[in-house]
Structure 1
Amino acid sequence: MPYSEKIENRLRGSALVFLCLIPVLLLFARGPADVALSLVGILFLVRSALRRDWAWAREADILALLVALLMLVAVAAPFGEYPGKNFTRGLIWVRFVVFYAAATRWLITDRKVVHILCWVVSATLLLAALDALFQFVTGYSLLGGQKMASFAGRLTGPLDRPNIGIYVSKLAFSVMALAFVARQGFGDKKAFVFSAMVMLPVLAVIFLSGERTASVLTLAGIVAVVIGLFFVGGRARLISIGLGIAGAAGIGALLTFSSRIAGRLADLEHVVSDYAASIYGQLALMGWRFFTEHPLTGIGMGSFEKVCKAEMPPESLEFGCYPHPHNIYMEWLSSGGLAGTLPWLVFIVLVVWAGLRMIRFGEQQTVLVALYLATLNVSLFPFAATQSAFSNWPAILAWMSISCAVAALRVFKDSRALAR
């Protein structure tokens, strides 16, 4: 059957529905969110097969990811500690590569989709933030029923674990990047204003959540946006100064009046001051050790905890064994060795450089560049204590946010904004 516009619209419409469902499903269930992400990729592959169009696989950033996947499956897995498990975990990672390609080259490519995503993702963030704030006031989540006391006073919102801060922080900067494109590229002021207003409760939740990584990385992103606004000049410069003053005052008040947040900051200072002795330092050093023992291929994906228990029994470790080293770069090095990590680093360099190159097009683009780099920073900052890069919930969240940011940059470059 020949490929037609009707088939294209049906495939793209279905994929868009699943794309919009991902952030909603992530609040309540990992499995369905993973299914939605996988279906986006499958529909894209069906479309590529019907059109006999595989040109996207040759584009530099996607090609780097495909090479990383090939290294994980064909090189790291056979020489890993548990080849069968390593091969399976490596092979199913393809869904994130295809999803990234689908989102950035097929779905998020025009005004309509940017508009829809701004409203859907922002509304989802608003729901999550309001529930978390309700939990902060009452002590329990209205949507999920979780109690703050069960998680040492940390917010969860609808989630079943205290990760609401990182959830909203990863999506917040990416949806604002899309909202900026909607405003500057297509004149869609309503979507921009709605997304911007949602950021108020979102930022409150991040800094009230007690999540140190989310708070610090978000603060860095805010600083980048303030600097970006300052360079635009005019009224934007006044807004940047106002945001800087308001942000500094808000954080100062939070640390002054919340002993819980001040205690979390003190804990962070303790970890940073003696990183090697902390749980995060020990896990990172363990990942580095596994890498030095298997520098070319690593130990294979999904093997960190099992290798840890085999080589260093938990009773001999102060903190025991964990499924991953809590640093995505150490996880890549220990799991994929140089074979898998080098193409992954090439991908990171490509997407970061794509953002930096936008600055040359004028001062107006500095805000978009700041939002773009802030999105990448939340997921890719090299010294952060992170969740696993390969587990479904954090990986889905990371690839959703990165894909939206990369797509926002590409759509903006293709819009008329640069011509004005």
Structure 2
Amino acid sequence: MPGTTESRPISMLERTALVGVMLLPLLLLHAHGIAEVAIAVVDLCFLARSTMTRDWAWLGTRWLWFATAWWGWLVFCSLPISGTTLGEGGPRSLLQALMTVRFLLLVAALEWFVLRTAAARLWIWRLVAASAAWIVLNSVIQDIFGRNLLGLPPAGEGVLTGPFGKARAGPPMARIIIPAVLPPAANLLQRRDKAATAAAYALLLGSVVIMVLIGQRMPLMLTLFGLLIVAVLIRRLRPLVLTAAIAGALLLAASPVVAPSAYFRLVEKFSAQMEHFAVSPYGQLYTRAWQVGLNHPFTGMGFDGFATGCPRPANFRPSFDGSEPNGGGAKICWDHPHNYWLQALDDGGFIGLALFGAMAVAWLLPLGRGLWLDPEPRRVALFAAIFIQLWPIQSTTAFTSMPVGGWFFLLLGWAMAESRAQPRS
């Protein structure tokens, strides 16, 4: 039954899968290649367990139907069949499309197998919170002393890198900071004493402050968006979220003095990009991605369709404002269009885009079930993290690229497990 804790002995397959999942946060931070191995181990243990026990109930999961339809269409569009427009990216594109199933299996394994118990879900929260704390610690030290604990300086334009050597602190933090701090903040508020309330405010205020100091625009905006979702769902946290937002605004106002590099990126550079968005790198990429989709409306160009189609002159079009006749030519091209929804369009045409949207809705519906009436903080935090990941108006990595893709599917599987553990009314 949902929410129960099994007392039977843990099998070797379960133990191996559990260890693999618990290692994922560390591996996603510092060993992406090994993280891929850990995901494969978890998937294989899950499939082996299902085979040995003949327990395939998880195949009836509704979100999995939509996800399988999207994945199957992606594979079909990536088939390199001569004489057709399918699989224009070749065998490598097909292999990558086939391997995308590993993330869907990971989510199913977390929901049905690895994170069934409350103890396992508590441990994954602890490890995600520790990962966020590690990034925060290195960011603060780098901001104060000029180098992080690994001896590395900030990236270009003064962006704080946390424990990394490049500007990679913001994207994972935008996904994990709310699930990390919201449950303890909510618990502290329930104590209804001044010290606990002050600690709760400090947690959320500190989260916004560190995202401002890191200096990456989209992660900051996604974090604020996620906190807005939290405020909508949890009434008692609305004053806390409002205070955190005001603190972030005040810090931005003071940033020309206290954090000039953050001010340059978050205010000056962002304003300039928005003013000339049509000819900015993002505007050029989105224009090209849309044209690739229009030119291949039924099946797209297969996995990595944007990378395949972007440099082809047939997909050039003028910029939105008409100032660049060829939209920047081939020199603007990248591996992906920096938007998950445009990526789905270029990979699988408008059918692929529709299936991607259906899959996103199929994920969000069970995650949001019952939250309006019973907004349990951990579930709300995870719902917010998944919602902002799938929000269509943002610049992104490629959908399945590591480490951000790994963080997303780890959080998604954890969120599904939390949802399944709730009693059905």
TM interval, shorter chain, is 0.7 to 0.9
CA–CA distance in 1 between the matches of 2:220 and 2:396? 13
Counting only pairs closer than 5 Å after superposition, residues 174-253 of structure 1 correspond to structure 2 as 174-175=179-180, 201-230=206-235, 236=236, 239-253=237-251
- Cα distance, 1:397–1:369 mapped onto 2, change above 3 Å: closer
Match of 1:389? 399
Match of 2:262? 261
Identify which of 162, 176, 188 aligns with 2:167. 162
Identify which of 140, 145, 161 aligns with 2:147. 140
The superposition leaves residues 62-84 of structure 1 with CA deviations (integer Å, 9 ceiling, x where unpaired) of 12111111111123433021231
Counting only pairs closer than 5 Å after superposition, residues 3-402 of structure 1 correspond to structure 2 as 6=9, 9-78=11-80, 79-143=86-150, 145-148=151-154, 150-175=155-180, 201-230=206-235, 236=236, 239-257=237-255, 258-264=259-265, 265-311=267-313, 317=329, 320-359=332-371, 362=373, 364-365=374-375, 367=377, 370-402=380-412
The superposition leaves residues 24-63 of structure 1 with CA deviations (integer Å, 9 ceiling, x where unpaired) of 1122121011111221111111111111222212211012
CA–CA distance in 2 between the matches of 1:51 and 1:94? 22
Q: TM-score, normalised by structure 2?
A: 0.83
In the TM superposition, residue 178 of structure 1 has moved relative to its aligned partner by: 7.2
Comparing 313-322 with 303-312, greater Cα deviation is found at 313-322
Comparing 315-324 with 20-29, greater Cα deviation is found at 315-324
CA–CA distance in 1 between the matches of 2:241 and 2:75? 47
Comparing 197-206 with 379-388, greater Cα deviation is found at 197-206
- Cα distance, 1:125–1:369 mapped onto 2, change above 3 Å: closer
Residue 414 of structure 1 aligns to a residue whose secondary structure is coil
> Partner letter of residue 320 of structure 1?
I
- Cα distance, 1:98–1:322 mapped onto 2, change above 3 Å: same
In the TM superposition, residue 161 of structure 1 has moved relative to its aligned partner by: 1.9
- Cα distance, 1:195–1:17 mapped onto 2, change above 3 Å: farther
In the TM superposition, residue 93 of structure 1 has moved relative to its aligned partner by: 0.5
> Partner letter of residue 281 of structure 2?
I
Structure 2: stretches of 5+ with no match in the other structure: 1-7, 81-85, 189-197, 317-325
In the TM superposition, residue 108 of structure 1 has moved relative to its aligned partner by: 1.8
In the TM superposition, residue 303 of structure 1 has moved relative to its aligned partner by: 4.2
> Partner letter of residue 409 of structure 1?
S
In the TM superposition, residue 196 of structure 1 has moved relative to its aligned partner by: 9.5
Residue 310 of structure 2 aligns to a residue whose secondary structure is helix
CA–CA distance in 2 between the matches of 1:128 and 1:407? 26
CA–CA distance in 2 between the matches of 1:196 and 1:41? 40
In the TM superposition, residue 224 of structure 1 has moved relative to its aligned partner by: 2.1
CA–CA distance in 2 between the matches of 1:35 and 1:255? 45
> Partner letter of residue 94 of structure 2?
F
Between the two proteins, the alignment pairs up a number of residues equal to 392
CA contact (8 A) 2:89 2:308 kept: no
Structure number having the greater helix percentage: 1
> Partner letter of residue 335 of structure 2?
P
> Partner letter of residue 339 of structure 2?
N
In the TM superposition, residue 195 of structure 1 has moved relative to its aligned partner by: 10
Comparing 253-262 with 24-33, greater Cα deviation is found at 253-262
In the TM superposition, residue 177 of structure 1 has moved relative to its aligned partner by: 7.1
- Cα distance, 1:331–1:123 mapped onto 2, change above 3 Å: same
- Cα distance, 1:88–1:197 mapped onto 2, change above 3 Å: farther
Q: TM-score, normalised by structure 1?
A: 0.84
CA–CA distance in 1 between the matches of 2:65 and 2:182? 24
| RMSD, aligned α-carbons | 3.1
> Partner letter of residue 44 of structure 1?
F
The superposition leaves residues 345-388 of structure 1 with CA deviations (integer Å, 9 ceiling, x where unpaired) of 1111122223444145x2x4275564243212331110100011
CA–CA distance in 2 between the matches of 1:44 and 1:199? 37
CA–CA distance in 1 between the matches of 2:199 and 2:53? 37
